[in-house]
Chain A
Amino acid sequence: MAEIEIAAGFIPLTDSAILVAARECGFAEDEGIALTLLRETSWANIRDRMAIGQFEAAHMLAPMPIAFELGLTPLSLEVVAPMAMGLGGNAVTVGTGLFEQMKELAPFVSPDPQGSGLALRAVIAARKAEGAPPLQFGVVHPHSGHNFELRYWLAASGIDPETDVDIVIVPPPFMPDALASGQIDGFCVGEPWNSVAVSQGAGRIATVKSAIWKSSPEKVLGVRADWVRNNPHGLSKLLRALYRSAQWCGDPANHAALAHILARPEYVGQPASLIARGLDGQVVEGLSVADKAWFFEPFARAATFPWQSHALWFYSQMVRWGQIEHTPANADKARRCYRPDLYRAALRSLSVPIPAANAKVEGALTDNEPVGATAGALRLGPDGFFDGRIFDPDRLDAYLSEDAD
């Protein structure tokens, strides 16, 4: 079989799992792909190395391809997202002292987003009364699910992310130290960095992404558009390999093995026991069985499907926080970065259930429900936001005007 060489960049995070397992467990090899994985120190590096052709594909923050397409980055490139790399997996961790203060002012049970949000609001009000400086929260990138879910949670809790707190950018592996040393008061990051901070005694988890927005998108596979145009079969092979890999990663029976692979120094380089917490959803005590399963999902509930409604929600938040001006043309650019057509074309031969629609109304499913699929049975959801809002991608303007009020 002709070998296809693919180089992919990644950042040391648990949700790089499906790329790592595709290489380590032979799913890439089965498709005739020689997959090289290169660990990077910044999302900017991933972008730059991709721009000059060193990477064909990469582990990317879900809003990144949209930011490229909208010209928001200092270096331009064209990237498509033909696959997602899982749902959930992030948490909001606050310093131990701040956590205690929140509990004191307004008792809540972690990771309840409503309770923890109100408690944080109470602390912020108290600090204002004392004339204390605003709390600082770290996120990994301005164009990241972390930035947008943190802001969503804060705003829905009555905290203005622009004026009531300072949001700063910190690289994921530096978050625990930045929290421990008091440079920041809290952060929103992917695993294992929340569990690392908790295990060091530096912080406690206030809430989790999967509670702020259930079944919410986090990373995508970004692929260079010129490579996709010239290698349609190569892309299909890569997507099939990653689909198989996601299936393997999603099976709880494989979590221990996966945690050991990810723990290796060339991947995440943190103890397997800490990585396993994120895979098993054991990041906070007191999560229900269902909540545990929802914390991070690499496969089930169409976790690898690139929903265009996800792309449009990220776009809506870019507009909301002033990163881009809303025009129908911009919204269209954002939507078109996500390529369910490429996903379906690649996976057709596997006869697996694939959503029949390209977009869905986010927040419409309150339970795990059967939906229309190309083959077999597929269950999605729940996919609700904690404040009960609904995002209908066909009513984007109405959604945007709710925030503008």
Chain B
Amino acid sequence: MSGRLPSVLVIDDNSVRAAIIEAGLREAGHDRVTVITEIAGIAGKIAALEPDVIVIDLENPNRDMLENMFQLSRAVKRPIAMFVDRSDRDSIEQAIEAGVSAYVVDGLRRERVKPILDMAISRFNAYSRLERELEDARSALQSRKVIDQAKGLLMRSRGMSEEDAYALLRKTAMNQNRKISEVAQGLVLAADMLGKGGSDG
């Protein structure tokens, strides 16, 4: 069955990310993809699956255990090397920076494994990007809320217009070389402590 694509096992306790990788591999025509998110009993599962390629999240604390298992060759009957080729420094670097590692059974040709690793790297990167964007959006929303609160405080306590209140926050931020949201946060906290934070002013 030399034409058949290698079988792939994805080990990742982040089930969302694992699903994204699995989907990518299936789109690329891999029909033998298994995802394991639970580390318990993994030795037996690997022995039963006999995967050609194992893709694992770099932060998984069980990597030492898994590598030992590969080395003992009890679970995996053929010797296993890391990544595609020890000399392939570029893919190793890209993979580690993306947060993924891959183990490959001996004898698999480089060009059969490279697309799998590339897929895993790009999907890991895409997932991290998504996470960052989500985090950014969350904190942007948070700052907007705080700035609105601070504006409200200034409008009530100093009788300012909304425009003037914002201008004052911005000027203070520039003078202190801080972000507007930080100045606003400070103002809201101070008002809270002085008991002026109530919505009725």
Range of interface residues on chain B?
A: 20 to 34
Say whether A42 contacts B61, CB under 8 Å: yes
B67 contact set on A, CB distance < 8 A: 44, 73-74
Q: A141-B68, A169-B68 are in contact. Are A75 and B82 (CB under 8 A)?
A: yes
Question: Which residue on A lies nearest to B104, using beta carbons?
Answer: A74
Q: A48-B58, A52-B96 are in contact. Are A170 and B65 (CB under 8 A)?
A: yes
Of the candidates A49, A74, A140, A170, the one whose C-beta lies within 8 Å of that of B96 is A49
A147 to chain B, nearest CB (A): 10
Cα–Cα, bound, A169→B75 (Å): 14
Question: Which residue on B lies nearest to A138, using beta carbons?
Answer: B65
Cα–Cα, bound, A43→B67 (Å): 11
Flag A27-55 by CB within 8 Å of B: 1 or 0 each.
Answer: 00000000000000111110011011010
Q: A48-B101, A169-B64 are in contact. Are A75 and B83 (CB under 8 A)?
A: yes
Question: Which residue on A lies nearest to B69, using beta carbons?
Answer: A169
Chain B, range 58-81, C-beta contacts under 8 Å to A: 58-65, 67-71, 80-81
Say whether A43 contacts B64, CB under 8 Å: yes
B80 contact set on A, CB distance < 8 A: 74
Cα–Cα, bound, A168→B80 (Å): 19
Cα–Cα, bound, A247→B68 (Å): 36
Question: Which residue on A lies nearest to B56, using beta carbons?
Answer: A44
Say whether B93 contacts A44, CB under 8 Å: no
Cα–Cα, bound, A73→B82 (Å): 9
Of the candidates B61, B62, B70, B86, the one whose C-beta lies within 8 Å of that of A75 is B86
A12 to chain B, nearest CB (A): 11
Q: Which of B62, B64, B97 gathers the greatest number of chain A CB atoms within 10 Å?
A: B64
B92 adjacent to chain A (CB < 8 Å):
yes
Cα–Cα, bound, A168→B62 (Å): 11
Say whether A52 contacts B63, CB under 8 Å: no
Flag B80-111 by CB within 8 Å of A: 1 or 0 each.
Answer: 11110010010011001100010100000000
Grouping DSSP codes into helix (H, G, I), strand (E, B) and loop, the A interface class, with mixed when no group exceeds half, is loop
Say whether B92 contacts A45, CB under 8 Å: no
Q: A41-B59, A48-B58, A48-B101 are in contact. Are A75 and B64 (CB under 8 A)?
A: no
Say whether B61 contacts A41, CB under 8 Å: yes
A173 adjacent to chain B (CB < 8 Å):
yes
Q: A74-B70, A74-B81 are in contact. Are A141 and B64 (CB under 8 A)?
A: yes
Question: Which residue on B lies nearest to A142, using beta carbons?
Answer: B68
Question: Which residue on B lies nearest to A169, using beta carbons?
Answer: B65
A233 to chain B, nearest CB (A): 27
Say whether A42 contacts B60, CB under 8 Å: yes
A76 adjacent to chain B (CB < 8 Å):
yes
B70 contact set on A, CB distance < 8 A: 74
Say whether A45 contacts B58, CB under 8 Å: yes
Cα–Cα, bound, A174→B65 (Å): 12
B101 to chain A, nearest CB (A): 7
Question: Which residue on A lies nearest to B72, using beta carbons?
Answer: A142
Cα–Cα, bound, A168→B59 (Å): 20
Cα–Cα, bound, A288→B68 (Å): 38
B87 to chain A, nearest CB (A): 9
Flag A61-76 by CB within 8 Å of B: 1 or 0 each.
Answer: 0000000000011111
Question: Which residue on B lies nearest to A74, using beta carbons?
Answer: B82
Say whether A171 contacts B64, CB under 8 Å: yes
Cα–Cα, bound, A170→B39 (Å): 11
Say whether B64 contacts A42, CB under 8 Å: yes
A169 contact set on B, CB distance < 8 A: 64-65, 68-69
A180 to chain B, nearest CB (A): 15
Of the candidates A44, A52, A171, the one whose C-beta lies within 8 Å of that of B92 is A52
Cα–Cα, bound, A174→B64 (Å): 13
B68 contact set on A, CB distance < 8 A: 141-142, 169
Say whether A75 contacts B63, CB under 8 Å: no
B172 to chain A, nearest CB (A): 33
A49 contact set on B, CB distance < 8 A: 96
Q: A45-B58, A45-B59, A49-B96 are in contact. Are A74 and B64 (CB under 8 A)?
A: no
Cα–Cα, bound, A173→B62 (Å): 11
B13 to chain A, nearest CB (A): 11
Cα–Cα, bound, A49→B61 (Å): 15
Q: A74-B70, A74-B103, A76-B86 are in contact. Are A48 and B65 (CB under 8 A)?
A: no
A171 contact set on B, CB distance < 8 A: 61-62, 64-65
Question: Which residue on B lies nearest to A144, using beta carbons?
Answer: B64
Cα–Cα, bound, A44→B93 (Å): 15
B103 contact set on A, CB distance < 8 A: 74
Question: Which residue on A lies nearest to B40, using beta carbons?
Answer: A183
Say whether B92 contacts A42, CB under 8 Å: no
Say whether B96 contacts A48, CB under 8 Å: yes
Say whether A75 contacts B65, CB under 8 Å: no
B residues whose Cβ falls under 8 Å from a Cβ of A: 58-65, 67-71, 80-83, 86, 89, 92-93, 96-97, 101, 103
Please name 18 pairs of A and B residues whose Cβ atoms are closer than 8 Å in the assembled complex, sorted by A.
A41-B60, A41-B63, A42-B63, A44-B101, A45-B59, A45-B63, A48-B96, A48-B101, A52-B89, A52-B96, A52-B97, A74-B70, A75-B92, A76-B86, A142-B71, A169-B64, A169-B65, A171-B62
A residues whose Cβ falls under 8 Å from a Cβ of B: 41-45, 48-49, 51-52, 54, 72-76, 140-142, 168-171, 173-174
Closest 8 CB pairs of A and B: A74-B82, A169-B65, A44-B63, A171-B61, A41-B61, A42-B63, A169-B68, A52-B93
